Structure 1
Amino acid sequence: MPLSPPSEREALHNRQYDFRGYRRADGLWDIEGRIVDTKTYGFDNEHRGRVEPGTPVHDMQVRLTLDDSFTVRAVEAVTDSSPFAICPGATPNYERLVGMRIAPGWREKLRQEFGSTGGCTHITEMLMAIGTVAFQTIIPIKSRENAPDKARSDKKPRLLNSCHAFAADGPVVARLWPEHWTGGEEKSAS
């Protein structure tokens, strides 16, 4: 269902996020993100001079290389467009991610490490979303590959109680993981 029709308005700002997940030939995973901000109007910028409509105000990219345990093995961050000449100076700080693991608490770790002057707001925002993209990339593939492994079926699914759809007492869990379902009698899955 789409949003309701808006009031009359003028478009001013556009932010585009693009996230992609890749399986590498060496068995590792690359998760990449890009943010591009543009304006519909031109403006003067002390660092860049005139920024014309549609020209990126922000254009930043990040790549995390992960292993199967979601541990960051390598990171690369770049700032191609920014409102200040100093902005790209924050990108080397993201090397501190190497050795960290995407797991519960990932967003808080990012806030602690890069939430103020230690990082770039936009790159840090992308890294918060990249955690979810990593799970969406890696978990389905690993689950398919491990499907015949019955020993894993007794483990609590990572997604259990992670959102409304995966509530332990809900119909999706009743269908996917009946051994972990905590609902009543009815197990209708939708």
Structure 2
Amino acid sequence: MPLPPAAARRQPLHTRSLVMRGYRREDGLYDIEGQLTDTKTAPFETMDRGRIAPGEPLHGMWLRLTVDETMLIHDVEAASDHTPYAICPAAAANFKRLRGLRIGPGFTRAVRERVGGVAGCTHLREMLGQLATVAYQTIGGQSGGGSPELIGTCLAWAADGPVVRARYPEAAQEAAAAKPAAAD
């Protein structure tokens, strides 16, 4: 079990499911798709939909990024099948504003500029970070995964760590040379 045992008596209340998939298209592009579903275990009322039954999706949303090998976004499709408010699905069209962005440094900031706040949907925006990771794993996975852009993004990819030393020794040497000498 990955976590220590939980408290003895717990009542399940909410489930969020995220399913993300990466596909290579026959035209050479890649579709990176995500589906988010939120459900509750007890009935509750919403302003626009009325009563939501246990297990019925409160949120049911889809997002597809079409990208090339350089992580440039060629197209975006978004859909909101289940939302708590009638107005929510209108935000989906604004996600087309992400066309022309490149997934990489500055992506999160650029997403906020284009579909942040009232221009977008919190749930669809939240999926974008995960979809960016799936894009890297889908496209980078074609060659065994990993790229120099990952250096410094997590513990495993520390510039002076064992993964970078093994895969990108020149980057590890540069990081070691740039490190200040330890004081005696």
Same fold (TM over 0.5): yes
Residue 150 of structure 2 is matched in structure 1 by 159
Q: Secondary structure at 1:75's aligned position in 2?
A: strand
Residue 6 of structure 1 is matched in structure 2 by 6
Superposed displacement of residue 157, structure 1: 1.7
- Alignment RMSD (CA, Å): 1.7
Superposed displacement of residue 109, structure 1: 1.3
Give the number of equivalent residue pairs.
Answer: 172
Residue 88 of structure 1 is matched in structure 2 by 89
Query: TM-score, with normalisation over the residues of structure 1?
Result: 0.85
CA distance, structure 2, for counterparts of residue 13 and residue 103 of structure 1: 32
Runs of 4+ in 1 over 4 A off after TM superposition: none
Q: Aligned ranges for residues 61-100 of structure 1 at < 5 Å?
A: 61-100=62-101
Superposed displacement of residue 3, structure 1: 1.1
Q: Aligned ranges for residues 50-129 of structure 1 at < 5 Å?
A: 50-129=51-130
CA distance, structure 2, for counterparts of residue 127 and residue 177 of structure 1: 28
Superposed displacement of residue 172, structure 1: 1.5
Residue 131 of structure 2 is matched in structure 1 by 130
- Unmatched segments (≥5 aa) in structure 2: 177-184
Q: What percentage of residue pairs aligned between the two structures are identical?
A: 49
Superposed displacement of residue 70, structure 1: 1.0
Residue 30 of structure 1 is matched in structure 2 by 31
* Partner AA of 2:5 in structure 1: P
Query: TM-score, with normalisation over the residues of structure 2?
Result: 0.87
Residue 170 of structure 2 is matched in structure 1 by 179
Residue 45 of structure 1 is matched in structure 2 by 46
CA distance, structure 2, for counterparts of residue 92 and residue 171 of structure 1: 44
Residue 153 of structure 1 is matched in structure 2 by none
